[in-house]
Chain A
Amino acid sequence: MKSSSLRIILLLVVGSLSASAQADSLVSKATYFNSVYSGALLAKKGDGTSLSVSTIHGIRKNRLASGVGVGYDAYPDWRTLPVFASVGYDLSKPGKNDLFIQIMAGYAKAWVPETENSEYIYESKGGRIIHPLIGYRIRSGQFSLYFTAGYQWQRILYEEKIRGWDNPTSKVSIQREIQRISLQIGFGLH
């Protein structure tokens, strides 16, 4: 995915949501919310299913919810710790249950768990992460239950070296792009 097109999509979404929020802000005040998601990151057969957990804390005002979050994704080889901003928008007027869209974008620290037998060493600078999703929120009093499905794109920049062999004549730099379908369940306050 080209980074420029992603930025444009992100700006359009945030812009439209902000405009809508301004209209709604005339009739409602902002409230704190948090949510904890857990689920699976699915890939095509052979690339494995990964665990994903994250938590978001932010402000909800009418249909718009914005916040920051941190997560942990365990891919078959890599582990990442994303820190991201999140913007969500309810597709229906505030009610008991809502269908919503949400996008998270940020930066993830990445590493490969080392074992004594690891042949390779990976020195990573981490990379960007973007995770748009659609979800359904069921409210019960102050609590909410979430079901989401989305698409997660993540880039990891790293150097690959052979353990015990620091070859000064060559450098292998790798830009890895990870694409996954996310299916998550979550709960949270408000």
Chain B
Amino acid sequence: METLENRLQKRIHISLYALLFLITLLGLSVLLEGCTDKCEVTTEYTYFEPVYTTVEDIRSSIDLVAPQVIHAVGKIYFKDGIIFLNEPGEGIHIINNQDPSNPVFLSFLKIPGNTDLAIKGKTLYADSYVDLVAFDVSDVASIHEVNRVEGVFKNYQIYGMQMNAKCCVVTSWEEKKNVYITDSDCNPVRSFNNAWGVRPFESGIAVSSDMSFSAKAAFTPGTGSGSGVGGSLAKFTINGDYLYLLDGGDLQTVSVVEEQNPVEKTRMFLSWDIETIFPHKTNLFVGSSSGMHILDVIAPESPVKLSTYEHVRSCDPVVVDDDYAYVTLRSGTQCQGFTNQLEIIDIKNLSAPQLIKTYPMTNPHGLGIDNKTLFICDGSDGLKTFDATDILKIDENLLAHYKNINAIDVIPFNNILMMIGEEGILQFDYSNPKDIKLLSKIAISHEE
């Protein structure tokens, strides 16, 4: 029999439990308002801050010094038995190539910011950041600056950092790291992860580590009296007494009537994606990511655009012989496109170029043609030589395929094929195109 005291005690306990439970539920409901997600976001990023050098310092640092090890190859120019080999951003290696089987390094011409060159007669023209510099190369043992066109490159920039020709230019980049912590509402963090390739940031830029500051390797040809020869990826070329420069989206004309006294002339806009320039007779063929522009330079200071042959978006070096233009299209990060092929374009009527035929390729880069022998650097698929006599059956007339050569561009000249590849510069005797013979190799040092 339960006593009154026990029953009372039990009821008190039950009441207390119920009260405790209710208080707990009440507390929980108050707490509910604070129940949410909170995020602490730690963003670590690397960016590059530009290092500026005054133009006075740059202009005073040009010098002819002892031969240097080659760390990277850029444009190449061949003139009177001498190879002028650009090392992007650094200068030009002077190499005696009278005997292609035994090239001899003579000297190194330090030119800060140099990426391209051309030669007329005894004068070498080279860019140095925003300037065009003329050198007397009549005696390769004492090459020296003779003139300079200051600030001729109006569109000089590096990854969006504009240069000031009167003050300073970006000459290097300093890598920096930064970390910042923020609180957020846990929505996806749209931060640097959204940066695609290059992004201006604070006083510098963030770039992907796989992007390089080195200019891509290239060669450049020339026409007219006294100019040298080159390849298919040039941004400089000489036609007659005029030097034509690709500067951003513009074609800049420079008179070199007086070799050692270059004079800035006219400038015309072509398109923002122009990449290469190739002269032929009184015409210029300008390759761009989206097509090939054909210009008439009968009036050298007033180039006239005759036509534009449009193609899919791609990198497109071009070479030309009398009736046809040979264009290779390739895919890749810089080129954006997905096409890898050789296009043959009929240019008998320069105002209306017509595509004749396309041939599939692996990843074609530069190309060269000499007396209907066509050389194509097909990336990892090596070097291919074709007899291009029958323009419609080029693929059926493969003369040779050298698969173990990773080629970027070629200069075929007087039976000597100068080829630039990942390993360096190789020279071949192609007097028999079916059996080219290695003559020499100029190696690139991969050490810092």
Contact = CB atoms under 8 A, between A and B. Distances in A.
Contacts of B194: 162
B21 A99 contact: yes
B286 to A, nearest CB: 33
Interface string A148-170: 01110000000011100101111
- Chain A CB count within 10 A is highest, among B13, B39, B207, for B39
Interface in A20-65: 42-44, 47
B233 interface: no
B44 to A, nearest CB: 5
A173 B39 CA distance: 10
B45 A169 contact: yes
A177 B47 contact: no
A28 to B, nearest CB: 21
A168 B35 contact: no
B24 interface: yes
Contacts of A47: 35-37
Contacts of A170: 43-46, 191-193, 195, 206
A149 to B, nearest CB: 5
A174 B39 CA distance: 6
Contact of B42 (A43, A119, A172, A177): A172
A125 interface: no
Secondary structure of the B contact surface, majority rule:
mixed
Contacts of A168: 46, 208-210
Nearest to B178: A170
B29 to A, nearest CB: 8
Contact of B39 (A44, A151, A162, A175): A175
Nearest to A98: B17
B186 A43 contact: no
Contacts of A7: none
A97 to B, nearest CB: 9
Given A165-B196, A170-B191, A43 B32 contact: yes
A181 interface: yes
A146 B290 CA distance: 71
Interface in B389-438: none
B69 interface: no
A57 to B, nearest CB: 26
A131 interface: no
Contacts of A176: 37-39, 186
B299 interface: no
A136 B22 CA distance: 12
A180 interface: yes
Contacts of B40: 174-175, 177
A129 B41 CA distance: 19
A119 to B, nearest CB: 7
Interface string A83-103: 000000000100000010000
Contacts of B189: 160, 172, 174
Contacts of B209: 168-169
Contacts of B24: 134, 149
B202 interface: no
A172 B193 contact: yes
B210 A165 contact: no
A92 B25 CA distance: 19
Contacts of A136: 21
Contacts of B25: 149
B193 A44 contact: no
B32 A171 contact: no
A178 interface: yes
Contact of A44 (B36, B42, B43, B195): B36
Interface string B209-226: 110000000000000000
A143 interface: no
B157 to A, nearest CB: 20
B37 A162 contact: no
A181 B29 CA distance: 8
A44 B208 contact: no
A31 B34 CA distance: 39
B28 interface: yes
A43 B35 contact: yes
Contacts of B43: 170-173
A91 B359 CA distance: 86
Contacts of B33: 44
A124 to B, nearest CB: 13
A18 interface: no
Contacts of A173: 41-44
Given A134-B24, A162-B193, A169-B208, A181 B32 contact: yes
A169 B29 CA distance: 45
A179 B32 CA distance: 9
A110 to B, nearest CB: 13
Interface string A108-150: 0000000000011000000000000010100000000000011
A178 B193 contact: no
5 contacts: A99-B17, A134-B24, A174-B40, A176-B39, A181-B35
Leading 9 A-B pairs by shortest Cβ distance: A170-B192, A170-B45, A169-B46, A173-B42, A175-B40, A168-B209, A43-B35, A179-B35, A171-B44
Given A43-B32, A160-B189, A165-B196, 18 more contacts: A92-B17, A99-B17, A99-B21, A165-B193, A167-B193, A167-B208, A168-B208, A168-B209, A169-B46, A170-B192, A171-B45, A175-B42, A176-B37, A177-B38, A179-B34, A179-B35, A179-B36, A181-B28
